Structure 1
Amino acid sequence: MPGQTLDLKSFKIPLGKLSPLETFRTRQGDVLSYRLYPAWSDNLIVLYHGVGSDSRYMCVLATAMAQAGLGTVVTPDLRGHGASLNAADPQSQHQFEIDLEELIIHIKMTRAVSRVMLAGHSLGGGFVLRVAVSDIRRQFARFLAISPYLPPSLNVFREDFGGWISPDGNGGFKVNMPVEFVSGQEKLTYSAAYLAAVTPSKNILADLQKLQPPVQVVVAELDELIIPQRQVQLFTDAGANIRVVKDLNHLTIVSKPDVWLPEISL
């Protein structure tokens, strides 16, 4: 599918499903934001967004998870995104893991939580894989990576990245957000240092094979950024469970979760 571009014009955020924005202050003094989708369950699902946008576009998937009784869903804004736009850049290689742990502590102060699952889409899916092989992985019962970002050296991206991102030659990239969709809450540039703190390492597949965390990967058959057949090959070789969903692309995989969510075990 070379040459196909990521089309935002047909992707709509249903405001009726969007939970209100909430914030908390970290021990480092940063104010980070999130949205919460409650369910009659003691399970907690932390669901991360992808490149350029924020927690808003995860609302359909978050609502579907909560209504299915899988757990209360929290959709954080990664620092530098959405209402977390003004949070400081990562201070260490483990900054996002620290942010995640502090978010969970914050949620547990107001809600009963028996088990925690971690899920994410695109860049957020890459972060899920990073955590799945990290020192904090045992805090999570299961991991769900949707169209996950993998290191470029693993050759999972289409040559033109669906027109969505442009590498800057220094290990980072810029987001080619159409001007009509720019609201001022987007993160449009990613440095190599930022990506190094949020994405899995080049050893991710070997680490998955060695540690065998309970990871489920879901990719879209018509993904404009990622080559699904390549991800199937890599994750299968690593012993991870992966499913390809037909007739969906990089964005509709999160806007049409009813097609695949009932078949996922969380």
Structure 2
Amino acid sequence: MAMRLLRGVLGLLKWGLCAVGAVALIFTALIAMPLERPAEMRSVADSAKGIDWSTLPPLERFQARDGTWLGFRHYAPKGADTGRGAIFIHGSSGSSGTVNHALTAAMAAHGVATWALDTRGHGASGTRGDIGYVGQLEDDLVDFVAHVRKSAPDLPLTLIGHSAGGGFSLRVAATPIMQDMFVRTVLVAPYLGYDAPTNKPHSGGWANADMPRFLALTALRKLGIDCCAQLPVLAFAVPPNSERILVPTYSDRLTRNFATHGYRLDLAAVTHPMTIFGGAEDEMMISDKYAEAVQAIKPSVDVKLIEGVNHMGMVTVPKAVNAIAEDVATRGAGQS
């Protein structure tokens, strides 16, 4: 009897030591390899050339529910006011004051009241490259819409996002609490998520993920250990010495929040009209697969490709920004 009991205790001890060893290996993977930033991507760096920065609105701030002051820019409509509004979400590493200014200014020039947000973790909003928890970006957007509604209580709003901001906008469009805030969603060269057939490896050289660390953190969460989400897992090919303007790395929790839940899951939950714009020469995404990928799940999604335009050109090249701005100005009241 005593021997049987002893064998049982030793068996439990063995499994316990195995579990401790597994956790130790996971933690080793977290720190074993430093996150490497990819070489500067010239197509991104060159996209700032020729932009008229003199029309950039001043940075304003609003207070989120946790007390943090977040940045944004407001573009008042010019010319004939369309009676439509838009909230713009920038791409990875960017902010309201980076090259997407060409697109947001164009929307205002087409008569659309436009607000460009510094998503938390970017620009003037919070800690660069990090957030407090997954889901905080949605909370911030709810708070931002409430702030906009103080001055524009009845204005129909279109949510528009570029690149990773497009992926986050799809995430938002699938969220029940958000669907009534926006009449329509426009995704510009969107990153649809890790499982999308529109992805190029490493986003064409723009992003480098620390997969051992990412997988280790995922394994820890499955074990019920929710820690270390502040560790960086994703690095971008930003120019050297650009940290004052661009965000070079994302933490695990920002990486997971500033993206879709999975494009299939999110698209299936979308109830309002949606349009996707892609550049035919996109060096980060496989744009000619957008239609096939999304319409297999949501046939009503409108997909438009603009010839001769690359990824950043979608928010900087006149042909692209004018086409998108015209679309938002004429269909922003919810027309499909």
Task: Give TM-score scaled by structure 1 length.
Answer: 0.89
Q: Give the Cα–Cα distance (whole angstroms) in 1 for the partners of residues 119 and 266 of structure 2.
A: 24
Find out whether 1:245 has 2:306 as its counterpart.
yes
The corresponding residue for 1:186 is 246
Find out whether 1:50 has 2:91 as its counterpart.
yes
The corresponding residue for 1:122 is 163
Structure 2: 5+ residue stretches without partners? 1-40, 215-232
Deviations 1:128-171 (A, max 9, x none): 10011112212210000101112212232212422211111134
Indicate the SS of the match to 1:90.
Answer: coil
The corresponding residue for 2:289 is 230
2:149 aligned partner, one-letter code: K
Deviations 1:61-112 (A, max 9, x none): 111111212x210000011111114379433432111111111111222344
- Preserved contact between residue 60 and residue 254 of structure 1 (Cα < 8 Å): yes
Q: Give the Cα–Cα distance (whole angstroms) in 2 for the partners of residues 42 and 107 of structure 1.
A: 14
Which one of 11, 22, 30 corresponds to residue 68 of structure 2?
30
Q: Give the Cα–Cα distance (whole angstroms) in 1 for the partners of residues 327 and 114 of structure 2.
A: 18
Distance of aligned partners of 1:201 and 1:218 in 2 relative to their CA distance in 1, 3 Å threshold: same
**1:78-227 alignment runs, 5 A limit:** 78-86=119-127, 89-135=130-176, 136-169=178-211, 170-171=213-214, 172-179=233-240, 182-202=242-262, 204-209=263-268, 211-227=270-286
1:17 aligned partner, one-letter code: T
Moved over 4 A (4+): none
* Range 209-218 or range 77-86, more displaced: 209-218
Q: CA deviation at 1:114?
A: 2.3
Q: Give the Cα–Cα distance (whole angstroms) in 1 for the partners of residues 116 and 54 of structure 2.
A: 16
Alpha-carbon RMSD: 2.2
The corresponding residue for 2:19 is none
2:167 aligned partner, one-letter code: G
Q: Give the Cα–Cα distance (whole angstroms) in 1 for the partners of residues 129 and 323 of structure 2.
A: 38
The percentage of counterpart residues that share the same residue type is: 26
1:219 aligned partner, one-letter code: G
Deviations 1:18-45 (A, max 9, x none): 1111011112111100000012354321
Larger radius of gyration: 2
- Preserved contact between residue 30 and residue 87 of structure 1 (Cα < 8 Å): no
Q: Give the Cα–Cα distance (whole angstroms) in 1 for the partners of residues 44 and 110 of structure 2.
A: 29
- Preserved contact between residue 11 and residue 251 of structure 1 (Cα < 8 Å): no
Q: Count the aligned residue pairs.
A: 260
Indicate the SS of the match to 2:157.
Answer: strand
- Preserved contact between residue 133 and residue 253 of structure 2 (Cα < 8 Å): no
Higher helix share: 2
Distance of aligned partners of 1:145 and 1:165 in 2 relative to their CA distance in 1, 3 Å threshold: same
Q: Give the Cα–Cα distance (whole angstroms) in 1 for the partners of residues 142 and 129 of structure 2.
A: 17
Structure 1: 5+ residue stretches without partners? none
- Preserved contact between residue 121 and residue 254 of structure 2 (Cα < 8 Å): no
Indicate the SS of the match to 1:83.
Answer: coil
Indicate the SS of the match to 1:179.
Answer: coil
* Range 185-194 or range 116-125, more displaced: 185-194
Q: CA deviation at 1:195?
A: 2.0
